[in-house]
Amino acid sequence: MDISLLSRPFRLLVTGGGTGGHTYPALTAVRTLQRRLAASGGSVDVLWIGTPDGLEARVAPAEGIAFTTVATGKIRRSANPLKMLSAANMKDMAKVPLGVAQARKIVSEFQPDVVLATGGYVAVPAGLAARMCKRPLVLHEQTVRLGLANRKLAGSATRIAVSSESSLELLPADVRASAVVTGNPVRPEVLAGHPDKAVAALGLHGFDRRLPTVYVTGGAQGAQQINGVVRESLPWLLSHANVIHQCGPANVAELQQYAAALDPYLAGRYHLTGFVGPELPDVLALADVVISRSGAGTLAELTALGKPAVFVPLATSAGNEQAHNARHLADAGAAVALLGEVTAGALQQAVGPLLTDPMRRAGMAERARAYGRPDAAERLVDVLLQAASAG
């Protein structure tokens, strides 16, 4: 099938979600495919199978994407095999056959040219349904190692798109031939920020632009661990840098109280906010160093931008993925990873050399950029179109 000769809209079925890590790469791929086909006079019909309470349930309809749900079973992982046989797991696993039957009906009626699965437990029924209905299935893995859902679907996939060269050797030998390195799609707006716009939007007029700027973030809800060590380090940090601290809406009042006691001279260099919205690209453009968690989406954005980073991995992330992600970049000198006990002293030791040595920052930025794939969405769209043509 030659995609350019289609007399009807190209049909893409997307499945995945639960978190931003699974949702936003899929959304970016959809947008990129829409732009690609529109440029040649084509169009795309998109249907997204997700969970009713996941982020995708809000994101897809807001983007004008048709959205539906199927029954899903979430597996609560444990190192103890007996705990895997919990009542909650047994109850949820019983939902999987129903979800597969529902997904099979959806796939059969929609007849997609290709199915894109980005992970999360909702991807399993739709991915299995794609195989049953003989539709091409492309998996996309955001992290260095395959997540649980993608591991279950790997044997059914036409292609497995991974985000890193180092993922290839971690794949099961029998599916390695179907793997291709695309990178993790990054929203194009993230790459188009401007530092001066951040200064204007956030009113950062007390910042000393001769000093480096640090952006601290723990994700949309903030991170108590990061907030705590930054609070303890704040007078030291502000003597070396300007700081934009995105702390999570629930944590603003407590940190405001602490900031009120700062030396007024230093306080002008500190901007505290619960949430960073549309101005995020500009904040990232202004930042010389980022202190953050090490989720796959964050890594994709920071490496595409070439930003020196100090990562504080979330210890409870699935399969310890965040620590694995952080260590992967740290081993290459493309970031600093705080993997042991995270204290104010450890943070200062990690970030200090980056703040005082512009050459060290520049070297780390260059090494980070070498891992970045700003064209990842275009590469993933290539894989989707090739899989559809082969199918």
Q: Residue 7: pLDDT band by 50, 70, 90 thresholds?
A: confident
Angle, alpha carbons 299-319-311 (nearest 5°)? 30
266 sits in which H/E element: helix 264-267
307 sits in which H/E element: none
Phi first, then psi: give them for residue 11, nearest 5 degrees: -105, 120
- CATH topology agreement for domains 3-186+374-390 and 188-371: yes
In this predicted structure, the answer to whether residue 76 has a pLDDT above a threshold of 50 is no
Q: What is the pLDDT of residues 115-171, one digit of tens each?
A: 999 999 999 999 999 999 999 999 999 988 888 889 999 999 999 999 988 889 989
Domain boundaries of the chain, sorted by first residue: 3-186+374-390, 188-371
Q: What is the pLDDT of residues 251-297, one digit of tens each?
A: 999 999 999 999 999 999 999 999 999 999 999 999 999 999 999 99
Distance set, CA 61 to CA 49, 55, 58 (Å): 12, 11, 6
pLDDT score of 74: 62
pLDDT score of 92: 63
Strand partners of residue 271: 244
* Total length of the chain: 391
CATH number for the region 188-371 comes to 3.40.50.2000
Distance set, CA 357 to CA 74, 235, 351, 360, 364 (Å): 47, 19, 10, 5, 11
pLDDT over 70, % of the chain:
91
> Over the range 356-380, which residues count as b (16 or more CB within 10 Å of their CB) and which as e?
eeeeebeebbebbbebbbbebbbbb
In this predicted structure, the answer to whether residue 319 has a pLDDT above a threshold of 80 is no
Architecture of domain 3-186+374-390: 3-Layer(aba) Sandwich (3.40)
In this predicted structure, the answer to whether residue 90 has a pLDDT above a threshold of 70 is no
